[in-house]
Amino acid sequence: MRDIHSLLEEYGDSHRNPVNKAIHWVAVPVIVWTVVALLWSIPAPVGIEIATVPLNWAVFVLILAQVYWFRLSVNLGLGLLLYNLAMIYLTVMIGAASPWPLWQLAIAVFVVAWILQFIGHAVEGKRPSFFRDLQFLLIGPAWLLAFIYRALGLKV
């Protein structure tokens, strides 16, 4: 497995243009939320709850993502854990407040966010990193969080 610094550097190679970067600051968190919301919408095979959080497909996939992120960086893993807990909370709140089914809203927002991503990469003149390696779909949120960590003087 490659180390976090080489992954962040390689991801950053196709994210240098300020317009593309700005789009990613909006679209990446939105896409993460839509994936969580879509997975949350899939009925779970059993009705298990852990501390009032249902064990469903979204929680299961986020646990797997957390294992991946913690293997790359404990510090980023901790930040992404907080981020993912916020994504779960946001999913529950939006799901309760939305006049549309959560999965329908998530699909619509997902499509718009990906259109924005591809516009950003057209401006950049480089294809999205995940075309080379699918693990870059998991590096996007870590790349954004790494910027925040560096700005705060925290270790990635």
What residues form DSSP beta bridges with 156? none
- In the chain, what are the domain boundaries? 4-152
Residues contacting residue 112 through CB under 8 Å, at least 6 positions apart: none
Over residues 123-141, mean pLDDT: 92
The per-residue pLDDT for range 78-98, each reduced to its tens digit, is 999 999 999 999 999 999 999
Question: pTM of this prediction?
Answer: 0.90
**CA torsion sign, 113 to 34 to 91 to 84?**
negative
Question: What would the two tokens of residue 33 be?
Answer: 């939320």
What is the rounded (10 degree) CA torsion for 25, 35, 113, 135?
60
pLDDT over 90 at 9, yes or no: yes
Question: Can you give the pLDDT at residue 132?
Answer: 84
Question: Can you give the pLDDT at residue 53?
Answer: 62
2: confidence class by pLDDT, cuts 50, 70, 90: confident
Question: Can you give the pLDDT at residue 55?
Answer: 79
52: confidence class by pLDDT, cuts 50, 70, 90: low
44: confidence class by pLDDT, cuts 50, 70, 90: confident
Per-residue DSSP letters for the chain?
---HHHHHHHHHHT--SHHHHHHHHHHHHHHHHHHHHHHHHSPPSS--EETTEE--HHHHHHHHHHHHHHHH-HHHHHHHHHHHHHHHHHHHHHHHH-SS-HHHHHHHHHHHHHHHHHHHHHHHTS--GGGT-TTHHHHHHHHHHHHHHHHHT---
119: confidence class by pLDDT, cuts 50, 70, 90: very high
